[in-house]
Amino acid sequence: MAKMWTGVTAGITDPIADDFNSSIRFDSRLYRQDIRGSMAHAAMLAARGILTQEESDALCGGLAGILADLDSGALQIDPACEDIHMFVEQVLTERIGEVGKKLHTARSRNDQVALDMRMYLKDECAELSALIRALIAALTDVAEAHKASIMPGYTHLQRAQPVTFGHYLMAYAMMLLRDLDRLADCRKRMDVSPIGCCALAGTTYDTDRRMEAELLDFADIAMNSMDGVSDRDFCLELMSALSILMVHLSRLSEELILWASWEFKFIELSDAYTTGSSIMPQKRNADMAELVRGKSGRVFGDLMGLLTTLKGLPLAYNKDMQEDKEGVFDAVDTVKMCLRVMAPMIATMKVRTDNMLAAARTGFINATDLADYLVRRGLPFRTAYKLTGELVAKCIAEGRVLEDLTLEEYRAFSPLFDGELYTAIDLRVCVDKRLSEGGTSVGSVEKQIAYVRSVIADD
């Protein structure tokens, strides 16, 4: 097909090169943004007297028709076109004639594609943030139901101190709140319109960039035209934020996989989110969680890919920049899929509080509380720590737990012990006494839940 840009060059004749050069396979998803941007451009050109109102109306009418036909499927994207921008302009000219050729006045594909990408990703930010909120809500609901369910908390994956399952889940809710915040922050810098930067240097036409930005709901315009067409920081920032989010989802997935194993059995995932094995009839595999964990790798890869593509590029636009799309689209699509599967998986899992409590009863996770008990009776912490260690060693040697030792046995270690020690090492008491802000007591977890709910209810 004849290229619209044939001028000094006769146009690519090698079909392999043509295919290599084309981006329509992956940029056709920008058609709505492209058409909306073009309508604003036509309106601005008329407002500045660069086109007549009739010409602008003809352009907008034609564009609206193309949008409706693409939406309904009446018009198919032509894969032989170089990119979505060329496709829309070509169809427009076919439909409304010569005036269609006036649309590209005071504009270049360089500012056009940067505009489309920003518009597209701004919309995606809204969707991503709604999905993150839904996952936070699911976590918070389960946390509320289990704000008093005792389980072992771990460090180094060794049983450490008792916590509640609600407290545990709220830790993930906090991570996701930061993800929301990062997304909102990167959206701020995305909300800057590059249209009107043209190829790189601006234009000799008397355009109104601010009008166009306003029509397209941008908060500001790019202040330097060379930066405007070559900036892809907004893609990098979004992929960075999404990579960090995927770290969180991957860690949560890892917990779900461990907890669903026979070694833990703290949870049972719903059948809807587990698969069987083709040869082992007893298997319930946490495939969805494993896939979320696995997909974190491709999102990090998408970020690395674009960082590497951009790092040596001279100003301003270079065709390398066409490589921004597949990675950032893939990152967004992948994260959305992961969020969509995580929220209902969390909401439907069965929590085995019996197994959590049984695990909490072994592993001496109340040893710190026993040491603190001695400290309250005047022993320096280091001495109390050592003495408690000796008691734990005795229990391990005899296959017992701290709760099993008699008062006489305790008193053989220190006369400071009295009957109250059993209350001090009661797991419920250990949890309830951790009243410090952010701690694991029921009241503290309730505050965390209320805080998170108030943040996600905002806007």
Shortest distance in whole angstroms from residue 154 CB to ligand ARG: 47
Is residue 277 annotated as a catalytic residue, yes or no? yes
Q: How many other CB atoms are found less than 10 A from the CB of residue 406? A: 8
Shortest distance in whole angstroms from residue 90 CB to ligand ARG: 14
User: Nearer Cβ to ligand ARG, position 23 or 250?
Assistant: 23
| 194 in Cβ contact with 229 (< 8 Å) | yes
Rounded (to 5) percent helix, strand, coil in the chain = 65, 5, 30
User: Nearer Cβ to ligand ARG, position 183 or 321?
Assistant: 321
Q: Which of 146, 149, 277, 278 is catalytic?
A: 277
How many residues of this chain bind ligand ARG (CB under 6 A)? Answer: 10
User: Nearer Cβ to ligand ARG, position 320 or 403?
Assistant: 320
Is residue 146 annotated as a catalytic residue, yes or no? no
Q: Among all chains, which residue has been given the structure tokens 């892809």?
A: 232
Q: Which of 156, 278, 436, 454 is catalytic?
A: 156
Applying CB under 6 A, the span of 108-116, 277-285, 379-387, 414-422 interacting with ligand ARG comes to 108-116
Shortest distance in whole angstroms from residue 111 CB to ligand ARG: 9
| 402 in Cβ contact with 425 (< 8 Å) | yes
Q: Which of residues 111-170 bind ligand ARG (CB under 6 A)?
A: 113
Q: Among all chains, which residue has been given the structure tokens 């993930």?
A: 172
Task: For residue 275, give the DSSP letter.
Answer: B
Q: Which of residues 75-104 bind ligand ARG (CB under 6 A)?
A: 83
Q: Among all chains, which residue has been given the structure tokens 């036509």?
A: 42
Indicate which single residue of 23, 161, 388, 448 sits in contact with ligand ARG (rule: CB under 6 A).
23
User: Nearer Cβ to ligand ARG, position 78 or 403?
Assistant: 78
Indicate which single residue of 109, 133, 209, 293 sits in contact with ligand ARG (rule: CB under 6 A).
109
Q: Does 352 bind ligand ARG (CB under 6 A)?
A: no
Q: Among all chains, which residue has been given the structure tokens 């995580």?
A: 342
Shortest distance in whole angstroms from residue 226 CB to ligand ARG: 14
The Cα–Cα gap between 407 and 428 comes to: 20
| 139 in Cβ contact with 170 (< 8 Å) | yes
Q: Does 110 bind ligand ARG (CB under 6 A)?
A: yes
- 88: nearest Cα among 34, 22, 27: 34
User: Nearer Cβ to ligand ARG, position 109 or 187?
Assistant: 109
Shortest distance in whole angstroms from residue 4 CB to ligand ARG: 11
Can you give the length of the chain in residues?
459
State the DSSP string of 132-176.
Answer: HHHHHHHHHHHHHHTTT-EEEEEETTEEEEEEEHHHHHHHHHHHH
Within 13 Å and on the Cβ side, how many CA atoms surround 107?
29
Q: Which H or E element spans position 350?
A: strand 350-351
Shortest distance in whole angstroms from residue 8 CB to ligand ARG: 14
Q: Does 212 bind ligand ARG (CB under 6 A)?
A: no
User: Nearer Cβ to ligand ARG, position 109 or 159?
Assistant: 109
Q: Which of residues 280-339 bind ligand ARG (CB under 6 A)?
A: 317, 319, 321-322
User: Nearer Cβ to ligand ARG, position 218 or 317?
Assistant: 317
The Cα–Cα gap between 52 and 122 comes to: 32
Shortest distance in whole angstroms from residue 302 CB to ligand ARG: 16
CA dihedral (35, 40, 41, 46) in degrees, to 10, reads 130
The Cα–Cα gap between 260 and 254 comes to: 10
Q: Among all chains, which residue has been given the structure tokens 């018009």?
A: 75
Residues that bind ligand ARG (CB under 6 A): 23, 27, 83, 109-110, 113, 317, 319, 321-322
Q: Please list the active-site residues.
A: 156, 277
